[in-house]
A and B are shown apart, each in its own frame.
Chain A
Amino acid sequence: MRMLRAGRWITAVALVLLAGVYVRALAYTPIEQSQGLAQKIFYLHVPAAIWAEMAMILVGLSSVFYLFTKDPRLDRFAAASAEVGTIFCAIVLTTGPIWGKPIWGTWWTWDARLTFTLFLFLLYIGYLLLRGAIPDPAMRARYAAVLGICGMCEVPFIHLSVYMFPTLHPMPIVLKPGAPSLPGSMLLTWALSLGVFTLLYVGFVVQRYALSYLREQLEAAGEVGHA
């Protein structure tokens, strides 16, 4: 229970800070010349995208260690990370079209990067569905680990594809070889936002982890069936 409360506090602080980042983004960060106000959504979109992918990699890594150690804590973490990754993916897929409509003139295009974010999202959904379809906890953990590792290994292919297909999507501005090509004030806002999203990720994962621990306790005591 202490963990659940800690998770709630971290999330609450992160949400307040997120509001702060947006005050800074809207009021104290210069407006981008060609995209105007629409560019402000990047402070939400890019950190969410980074964490959506990071979450998949963390699912994969904890799955690898789970298969070696069979430590249920790793499985619980993988499940939590996958759920949070799903939400972050949903944020990316929602904010992307909102930006795309004024800038590209269309909500959606079958662009490589959009398509593969969608598939990352579907990968997460598949992972959660697989977990839901197996009643036995040990089997669920093993199968989920196998899928998680495969998912992690697919991420580099997704990345390679992005550079191989002709794309409309803006190329990386910050995380690329060489210096970031944007003014310092924008970079600072972006970095703050990335920090806030990191905190959000931690807060959500801690909460989900604590919840699944409590659920396991109840399951063991025979209080609830498997959802």
Chain B
Amino acid sequence: MRLPDLLRHAWTVASKDLLVEFRSRTAILSAAVFVVLVLVVFNFGRDPTAVSNVDLAPSILWVTFTFAAILALNRAFQLELENQALDGLLLAPIDRGSIYLGKLMANLVFVATIEVIGVPLLALFFNVRVLPYLGPLVAIIALATVGFVAVGTLFSAMTVRTRFAELLLPVLLLPFMIPPLSWAVLATGRLLADRPLSEIAGWLNMLAVYDIVFVTLALLLFPATVNE
């Protein structure tokens, strides 16, 4: 299959998912409220006199994103279970790869929306200066998100058809989230502490390598999760 076709079909799948979401808006609203609640819970789970906000901010940010992303990923293939919609999708004359890419894109849009809500709220609630570092921060968030959403989309295609889907996905996914997450936390910490950009270049490279490896791998492995 040619690359433009692959991407076009992927976008069709993604826009279908996003349209379903946009019409009801239940999942994204719940996820947004969830993000606010996690940030509020963090406020009560720390001692502001002992740890400064800037030191704690990267952890708060990434723990919040981790939980919110797992919620979002569970949803991706849940949609397709009703009325055996997945079978219909698989019967469509498109490459399996574009189904995966479509799901990945929709998940990325979904998680990115949550992150767009999360970052300003973090700045507001915890009084962290984000604006001066916005460019590099967006780069870190984008690179880390692509990595774990790629793996998560692949895994959710599998877990959704098992018992205890909601529980199994985080159990499988978290060990894979930890490497990108730990690099992202370190990079975010350096960034918010006003360290030079050259210090975080290494982490960004690692995140990019992780993304390339796991997006490729997921693209190759996805057919095995849906073929009978």
Contact = CB atoms under 8 A, between A and B. Distances in A.
B201 interface: no
Given A134-B162, A143-B225, A164 B175 contact: no
Interface stretch (A19-27, A94-102, A122-130): A122-130
B131 interface: no
Given A133-B164, A153-B213, A164-B206, A126 B172 contact: yes
B217 interface: yes
Nearest to B186: A165
A167 interface: no
Contact of A157 (B163, B171, B179, B224): B179
Given A129-B168, A153-B214, A161-B182, A143 B175 contact: no
Nearest to B226: A142
A31 interface: no
B172 A146 contact: no
A152 B189 CA distance: 29
Interface size class of B (residues with CB under 8 A): 20 to 34
Given A150-B176, A157-B179, A161-B182, A142 B224 contact: yes
A115 B155 CA distance: 23
Contacts, number: 69
21 contacts: A115-B178, A122-B171, A123-B176, A125-B171, A126-B171, A133-B159, A133-B162, A134-B162, A139-B161, A142-B225, A142-B227, A143-B162, A146-B154, A146-B158, A147-B172, A149-B217, A153-B213, A153-B214, A153-B217, A158-B179, A161-B179
Interface string A159-187: 01100100000000000000000000000
**What DSSP secondary structure best describes chain B's contact surface?**
helix
A129 B221 contact: no
A57 B129 CA distance: 44
Contacts of B48: none
A154 B179 contact: yes
Contact of A149 (B161, B206, B221): B221
Interface string B150-162: 0100110011011
Contact of B221 (A150, A160, A164): A150
B13 to A, nearest CB: 20
Interface of B: 151, 154-155, 158-159, 161-164, 168, 171-172, 174-176, 178-179, 182, 202, 206, 210, 213-214, 217, 221, 224-225, 227
B158 A154 contact: no
Contacts of A149: 217, 221
B158 A119 contact: no
Contacts of B202: 164
A145 interface: yes
Contacts of A120: 175
Given A122-B175, A147-B172, A150-B217, 10 more contacts: A67-B224, A122-B171, A133-B163, A143-B158, A143-B162, A143-B225, A146-B221, A153-B214, A154-B179, A158-B179
Given A145-B224, A149-B217, A164-B206, A133 B179 contact: no
A123 B162 contact: no
